[in-house]
Structure formats: C-alpha cells, structure tokens
Amino acid sequence: MKLLVATKRVVDFNVKVRVRADGSGVETANVKMSMNPFDEIAVEEAVRLKEKGIATEIVAVSCGPVGAQETLRTALALGADRAILVETSEDLQPLAVAKLLRAVVDREQPKMVILGKQAIDDDSNQTGQMLAALLDWPQATFASKVDIVGDSVTVKREIDGGLETIEMRLPAIVTTDLRLNEPRYATLPNIMKAKKKPLESLTPAALGVDVTPRLKTLKVVEPPKRKGGGRVADVKELVSKLRNEAKVLP
C-alpha cells in the first residue's frame, strides 16, 4: 500500500514571531524554519505503518518555495522513500494546496494521505478536509490512533467532548493530532542516506493547477499587549484582590 504524506515548512514552534511595523506581515527572514510539528507526526505514522508491513512505499510531498527541499530531506531521513516538491513562490493558501495535492494523488495513486491537522503558521486547519472533498474521499481529522485492517481504516479522533472512533473504507484522508505518536529523531546515518533518495521537482503549471490566492491579506498587526507581572504575597491577598479589585468571584 502506497502512502502519501504532506509536509509544510513553517516558522519553528519555539520562535516568538515579530510583526513587521509596516503591517505587511510577520518577520520570517533569518528566522528558524522547521517541519510543521503535526506533519512530523504524520511522517512518523507513515513510517510506523511501513515498519508494520502495511505500507510498502511512502512518498513525502511539500508545496512551496525551494527551501521546502529541506523539509523533504528531513522526511526522507525519517523514513520516506521518495519526495516531491511542488515548487512555487506564490502565497499558497489551503484551497490551492489541496488542489496541488489532488493532482499529486492522481499521479501517485496512494491508498491513504496523511496530513497534519493544521499548520502552526496560518492555523487554518483546512487542507486535509479540502483534499478529501476534492477527491470525494472520506476523512478522519484530529486522529489519535490509526489502525488499518484490509480495505478499511479505523481512526480514534479527538473531538470537543472526548473521543470518537470512526471506520472508513480506503482510500481515505487522515489528519494528525498531537497524541497520535511521538516522532523519532532523524539519525545521522539516515540523514546521509536521505541525500541519495529521489526528490522530484514539479510546478503548479505542470500539474495544471491555478494557485492564485483567494484571500487578500490587508494588514497584519500585533495583538493588544496584555499587562502582566502582577504579584500577590499569599492566598489571603489573592482572594481579597479577586473579590474587591477584579470582582470576578461569584
């Protein structure tokens, strides 16, 4: 069974981003970039499925500027067999990415596509669901456990009130949530081997996809600063302040 895993290169989760003073966006120049954490979980899940003998080939795909090659090399080092970069410097939004991924799915014919549930830069949480709709495939979002048996996949998903288990016929889309697995680290030997694994470069034009953005960003601003750092000496003072100053106690 072939698996396709989608990955995105994003600002590292530890970075405290700064908003540009001119309102044009967030400062990303010279900032540490990494694979989106949820996509690391997706790659790990694919690799585990291969180790279990369920997946026979893992293809990692990323859509974005040429720097995304780094993310794909990481995926290869973690265990993907091949990588595809759909290269463009256009501002890619989820609908466009879903269309590009659909074109890749048409080419590669995987039985399952695993994506991170959201990218931690735009926090949209749309791409996996959109891809499923474009393909007319079933979806299981926010997965915390994935079990493939024959032609079906059973997914335990995190929902607002707890957990839900759903069963889907393959081919299907799964998006990962935090507790699906704990990703491994790429070992140095595997990082070296990854340099020799195939990485193919395509363009949106070659895939016949129009990636023109539909949402126009008018401005990006910092949220209002929250005044913090207040201290109280003890529990008595805390309760007194909550009651009389903040007035939030029932």
Report in angstroms how near the CB of residue 242 gets to other proteins at its nearest: 7
Q: For other proteins, which is the closer residue by CB, 17 or 205?
A: 17
In the set 65, 111, 124, 147, which binds other proteins (CB under 8 A)? 124
Report in angstroms how near the CB of residue 161 gets to other proteins at its nearest: 4
Residue 231 CB neighbour total at 10 angstroms: 6
The 161-190 contact track toward other proteins, x by CB under 8 A, reads: xxxxxxxxx-------xxx-----------
In the set 1, 19, 186, 191, which binds other proteins (CB under 8 A)? 19
Contacts with other proteins in 41-70 (CB under 8 A)? Answer: none
> What are the CA-CA distances from residue 125 to residues 116, 167, 237 (Å)?
9, 22, 42
Report in angstroms how near the CB of residue 7 gets to other proteins at its nearest: 17
Among the residue ranges 49-57, 70-78, 84-92, 116-124, the one whose residues contact other proteins (CB under 8 A): 116-124
Contacts with other proteins in 133-162 (CB under 8 A)? Answer: 133-134, 138-139, 141-142, 144, 154, 158-162
In the set 17, 66, 192, 205, which binds other proteins (CB under 8 A)? 17
Contacts with other proteins in 93-112 (CB under 8 A)? Answer: 93-95, 98
Q: For other proteins, which is the closer residue by CB, 69 or 144?
A: 144
- Residues 6 or more apart whose CB falls under 8 angstroms from that of 34 comprise 9, 10, 11, 12, 13, 71
Q: Distance between CA atoms of 214 and 129, rounded to whole angstroms?
A: 17
24 forms part of the interface with other proteins (CB under 8 A)? no
Of 93, 83, 81, nearest to 62 (Cα)? 83
Residue 213 CB neighbour total at 10 angstroms: 12
Sign of the torsion formed by the C-alpha atoms of 66, 69, 70 and 72: positive
Report in angstroms how near the CB of residue 205 gets to other proteins at its nearest: 19
Q: Which 3 state secondary structure label does DSSP give 207?
A: helix
Q: For other proteins, which is the closer residue by CB, 86 or 115?
A: 115
- What b/e string do you get for 71-101 counting C-beta neighbours within 10 Å, with b at 16 or more? bbbbbbbbbbbbbbbbbbeeebbbbbbbbbb
